[in-house]
Structure formats: C-alpha cells, structure tokens
Amino acid sequence: MTNTPIKTLGTFEPVSFPDFAVIGKITAKIDTGAYSGALHCTMIRLEETPKGKVLHFSPFDHPDTEISVSNFTLENVRSSNGKNQSRYFVNTNIKIQGAIYPIILSLADRSEMKWPVLIGRKFLRKNNFLVDVNRPAK
C-alpha cells in the first residue's frame, strides 16, 4: 500500500494533451474494462529516416496537425470488437483535473466510437485513481 492520495474520476473526464498544444480539452471515457488507453488518430504512417524510424499521426482528425515521434512501440492488442490488431503506442502527457501525468496510449481510428480518448486501468492503477460512476461529468 502506498501513501499516495487517492484521486477520484468520473466515467467521463475533460482532459488535454500538453504535448499537442494545438488541441484543446477533449472528453475522455474512463474505462476500467480496458487495459490500456487509446487516442483517436488518423493519417498514421511510419517513415524511415537516416536517424531511425519516425511515426507521424494526426490526433483527433485534425488533418492540419501532424505529430511526429521517434519514441514508440508496435504491440498487439485486442480491440473492443474482440479482434487482435497491431497498434502503435506513444508516450505523451495528459492533463486531468489540473495535474499532468505521463501516459502511454495506443493510436487508433476511433471515428466510429463515441469518445475520442479512452483511459484504461493500467494508467488508473499506476496513478492511484478511483472511478466513481455516479460522479457527474464536468
């Protein structure tokens, strides 16, 4: 047991991504049934450069915004429809309730989903969050 205080989240929370400065607040779904988190992205592409591989993507369907990272992994995940798929995972920061936390998110086209950001239990457990499903969205 740690002495870290427990922080409470509702099922839906406004979040922002300081590393993606052009993007404002987004409503994230807090999902204890999901192991990892996911970020809605389009135009995901990998580029080979003389310095190594670089991953490019446009977060939240903003075609004029392209984020480029060299710190990423490719992992297999089971999606919400039960199928296994390969996804890129990136390290970034998320701002929740005024505090900034490091987070690892998979990049996925979530255009068919209601919520563009999904926060899973791995992040919640690591940062000592409790989910109160009765807490109203802010």
The helix/strand/coil state of 81 is coil
pLDDT the model gives residue 95: 95
Output DSSP code: residue 98: T
* pLDDT tens by residue, 81-93: 778 889 999 999 9
* pLDDT tens by residue, 39-67: 999 899 999 999 999 999 998 877 788 88
CATH architecture assigned to 9-40+74-129: Beta Barrel (2.40)
How far is CA 87 from each of CA 25, 63, 69, 70, 135, rounded to the nearest angstrom?
24, 20, 15, 15, 32
Find tokens 């068919």 and name the residue: 112
* pLDDT tens by residue, 62-77: 778 888 999 999 998 8
pLDDT the model gives residue 84: 87
How do 7-9 and 129-131 pair as beta strands? parallel
Q: What DSSP string runs through 100-128? A: EEEEEEEEE--TTSS-SEEE-HHHHHHTT
pLDDT the model gives residue 64: 82
Domain ranges for the chain, please list them.
9-40+74-129
The helix/strand/coil state of 94 is strand
Find tokens 């939240």 and name the residue: 60
How would you label 52-77 residue by residue, b for 16+ Cβ within 10 Å and e otherwise?
eeebebbbbeeeeeebebeebeeeeb
CA distance 5 to 7: 6
